[in-house]
Amino acid sequence: MRWSKTRVGFFGVLGGRQVAGAALVMVSLLFLLPVSLLSGEPLYRQGGEFSDLAAGEEQPPDERSAAQTASRDRGRAVRLQKTDGTIVELSMADYLWGVVAAEMPASFEEEALKAQVCAARTYTVLKQNAASEKHPGADICGDSTCCQAYVERAAAEARWGLNAGEYGEKIDRAVAETDGLGILYQGQPIQALFFSSAPGKTVDAVEVWGRSVDYLTSVDSPEGEEVPNYRSQVVLTAEEVKKRTLDTYPGADLSVDPGSWFGRASRNEGGAVSSIVLGGVTLTGSQVRALFSLRSAAFTVTWDGTEFTFDVTGYGHGVGMSQYGANAMAKEGKTFRDILTWYYTGTQVDQLW
């Protein structure tokens, strides 16, 4: 999916979850679930028009009143499998509130929250049209390593304390003012991947999963040192590196001096590692990230004769929308539409139903 979480989430902000499992899930989502799975009449064109508008006229969806904008999401149900295994049915509006509360800091700018709502809504629509063996009987689950994180309103408000009223209302508005809106590429909902923070640029999907996706290309991302834990370190002994490597890549030769285990890294234009040799085996930056539990693939590695130190920038898989980048753009005056069409190249924001 996606802030100070160990993820991508799904996605992206991407709090405190491990990213390796999420990355594997996203690989299957991205490349096993076709972008064009919705056949026939595009989903976003199904359903009636607003009755209070003259024939052939329609206000921009984000300019309607809260009462008007509640109708689309309130009229669509989502079957959610909670983390305890129980399945509940919620309106899309209530479900999205819980996703955004779990996936993005409610202190963020409202335009960033709206962008997150649209990404979550788009992802949910795809899940509703593709059955999963992992949660039969439900459209989607609340496990971030499989689908999207979700938190019940009472739990979120308890966590926010004195800010509960303000934050809850912000997310209410973000959901209502984007009612039914999603992200489309060539008329179909996209795989709206997101993550926490980028080291200056997002990553092209081909760098992470080996396959290009037209709307998941590398773009500049404006966040920086204001991001909590934007720079992090992982320190491991030679024995720890050796064990983890050989457990996963038994063909690696780590019989020589540890100082020569890692070769020179190849980097993409955003500074993330594209590939690096470890013990004679060429690995992607994402594989090294998963192997050593790094926060991102934008890292350097040094050996001091005793330990390996990985210096890391950013957080998440790096593909799609950066949540902290979205917030930085919102602070600059960009709208949620600006944010979404920037991070998802060549897309449009329009009604999903």
Question: What is the pLDDT tens value at each position of the chain, 353 positions in all?
Answer: 544 333 334 334 334 444 344 444 444 444 433 333 333 333 333 332 222 333 334 445 444 444 445 589 999 999 999 999 999 999 999 999 999 999 999 999 999 999 999 999 999 999 998 877 888 899 999 998 899 999 999 999 999 999 999 999 999 999 999 999 999 999 999 999 999 999 999 999 998 888 999 999 999 999 999 999 999 999 999 999 999 999 999 999 999 999 999 999 999 888 899 999 999 999 999 999 999 999 999 999 999 999 999 999 999 999 999 999 999 999 999 999 999 999 999 999 999 98
Whether the CB-CB separation of 242 and 256 falls below 8 Å is answered with no
Whether the CB-CB separation of 303 and 260 falls below 8 Å is answered with no
Give the whole-angstrom CA distance, residue 66 versus residue 172.
Answer: 9
Query: What pLDDT score does 4 carry?
Result: 38
Give the whole-angstrom CA distance, residue 174 versus residue 316.
Answer: 24
Whether the CB-CB separation of 105 and 14 falls below 8 Å is answered with no
**Residue 86 class from Cβ within 10 Å (0-12 exposed, 13-18 middle, 19+ buried)?**
exposed
Sign, CA dihedral 338-147-172-349, equals: positive
pTM of the complete model: 0.79
User: By three-state DSSP, how is residue 188 classified?
Assistant: strand
Using only C-alpha atoms, the chain has a radius of gyration, in whole angstroms, of: 21
Whether the CB-CB separation of 349 and 129 falls below 8 Å is answered with no
Q: What's the first-to-final CA gap in the chain, in angstroms?
A: 22
Q: Which two tokens stand for residue 241?
A: 């590196």
Query: What pLDDT score does 7 carry?
Result: 39
In terms of Cα–Cα distance, which of 6, 7, 9 is closest to 194?
Answer: 9
Give the whole-angstrom CA distance, residue 193 versus residue 316.
Answer: 11
Sign, CA dihedral 175-181-184-189, equals: positive
Residues 6 or more apart whose Cβ sits within 8 Å of residue 294: 232, 234, 288, 310, 312
CA dihedral 89, 93, 98, 104 (to 10 degrees): 150
Sign, CA dihedral 198-204-208-209, equals: positive
319 C-beta neighbours (distance < 10 Å), count: 31
Query: What pLDDT score does 70 carry?
Result: 59
